[in-house]
Amino acid sequence: MQFGIFTVGDVTPDPTTGRTPSEHERIKATVAVARKAEEVGLDVFATGEHHNPPFVPSSPTTLLGHVAALTERITLSTSTTLITTNDPVKIAEDYAYLQHIADGRVDLMMGRGNTGPVYPWFGQDIRQGIALAVENYALLHRLWREDVVDWEGKFRTPLQGFTATPRPLDGVPPFVWHGSIRSPEIAEQAAYYGDGFFHNNIFWPMSHTQRMVELYRQRYAHHGHGAPEQAIVGLGGQVFMRANSQDAVREFRPYFDNAPVYGHGPSLEDFTEQTPLTVGSPQQVIERTLGFRDAVGDYQRQLFLMDHAGLPLKTVLEQLDILGEQVVPVLREEFAKLRPAGVPEAAPLHPAVLRQDSDHSTKETS
């Protein structure tokens, strides 16, 4: 199973000090968080994509290319790449290029975004959100698999004799996830292509995540990619930990109460009861995360949201230490024990990564 973190990239005042980091500080902090993720043994670092303040990550491949140079092992991913408002031709080229830079340590997650005006700002119509996701991805899928593409659709100018360049590393495109909170069409899209399905799993009750994943699994089998339990599922999660759970609650409460998305709403207690948010000891996080498996079955990727709501970098790095030292090793072992044979352990890795892994282990054993 793969464990990692996903960042929204929000620039939020620290409610305990009133201080707002600059965009520069936030971007450098994101890089520090990504490096730390590798250092503490996580498998995935994923960045969101936003085109409006107070968010900074408008240029994911710039960030991920930089992180690629500073890391050796961690998979670089997105959460999400806007398949609706980005030109699929540019996505095909940017992420193929990133694959080469990162020696294959790349996958990505398609999403439609959560900010209405981004559509008109990028020349699109939000009412066509699903249709854009369907058509643009169909084109992207071909651009990575066919050397010369003739194409015509509704939303983009036609292509004749077009070759996206560079070609994917060793001819193998990055693995793709499709992320959606509530659109069954996107679960269907992931199932149709045999791609992964990721549920953000942060803002809504687990029962909702469960229904979406179940739909995806059934449709994955329907489209002939394997048994429902072999479908590739990823979940988000949100945690804040201290050795003593009361300390975690006391320290996190002001960040929760003022958080950009759900702040000034329900109490921390109600929200932790009704959604997968866990604020407490590492052991509580382990138990809650293992509980996700009861809802959606054995799954392949767990990403945690750690650097948000104005938490200072120092705190986020401490959280990553706890995650990497006390939580993930236990979860790896427990999930592995529970997973039946025939269920994929993780999302597919690029052949170049697998080669490198076997080179490393040869060196270590020699």
184 binds other proteins, rule: CB under 8 A: yes
Q: Among 264, 314, 337, 363, which residue sits at the site for other proteins (rule: CB under 8 A)?
A: 264
189 binds other proteins, rule: CB under 8 A: yes
Using CB under 8 A, which of the segments 43-51, 115-123, 198-206, 239-247 binds other proteins? 198-206
188 binds other proteins, rule: CB under 8 A: yes
Find the helix or strand (DSSP H, E) in which 302 lies. strand 301-305
260 binds other proteins, rule: CB under 8 A: no
Binding mask 202-241 for other proteins (x = CB under 8 A): -xxx--x----------x----------------------
C-alpha torsion sign, points 352, 353, 358, 359 = positive
347 binds other proteins, rule: CB under 8 A: no
Strands 233-241, 278-280: pairing is: parallel
Token readout for 229 is: 């339990």
Q: Among 266, 287, 326, 352, which residue sits at the site for other proteins (rule: CB under 8 A)?
A: 266
Q: At what angle do helices 23-39 and 313-322 cross, to 10 degrees?
A: 20
User: Taking the CB of residue 361, how many other CB atoms lie within 10 A of it?
Assistant: 10
| Tokens 């300390």 belong to residue | 247
The minimum distance between CB 343 and other proteins, in angstroms, equals 25
10 binds other proteins, rule: CB under 8 A: no
Token readout for 29 is: 């902090």
100 binds other proteins, rule: CB under 8 A: no
The minimum distance between CB 317 and other proteins, in angstroms, equals 28
The minimum distance between CB 231 and other proteins, in angstroms, equals 16
C-alpha–C-alpha distance, residues 311 and 2, integer Å: 25
271 binds other proteins, rule: CB under 8 A: yes
In the chain the beta strands, taken as DSSP E runs, fall at 2-7, 44-47, 75-78, 81-82, 107-111, 149-151, 159-162, 175-179, 196-199, 233-241, 278-280, 301-305
155 binds other proteins, rule: CB under 8 A: no
Give the residue with the Cβ less far from other proteins, 247 or 269.
269
Alpha carbon 197 to chain centroid distance? 10
The minimum distance between CB 281 and other proteins, in angstroms, equals 25
The minimum distance between CB 24 and other proteins, in angstroms, equals 31
Half-sphere exposure of 137 (CA within 13 A, CB side): 28
Q: Which residues contact 151 (CB under 8 A, 6 or more apart)?
A: 139, 142, 158, 159, 162
C-alpha–C-alpha distance, residues 7 and 48, integer Å: 6
Strands 175-179, 81-82: pairing is: unpaired
Q: Among 22, 274, 358, 361, which residue sits at the site for other proteins (rule: CB under 8 A)?
A: 274
The minimum distance between CB 133 and other proteins, in angstroms, equals 10
Residues 278-337 that bind other proteins (CB under 8 A): none
3-state secondary structure of 143: helix
Question: For residue 81, what are the β-bridge partners?
Answer: 110
Residues 42-81 that bind other proteins (CB under 8 A): none
Give the residue with the Cβ less far from other proteins, 219 or 242.
219
Q: Which residue type is seen at 280?
A: G
Q: Residues in the site for other proteins, rule: CB under 8 A? A: 130, 134, 184-185, 188-189, 192, 203-205, 208, 219, 261-266, 270-271, 274-275
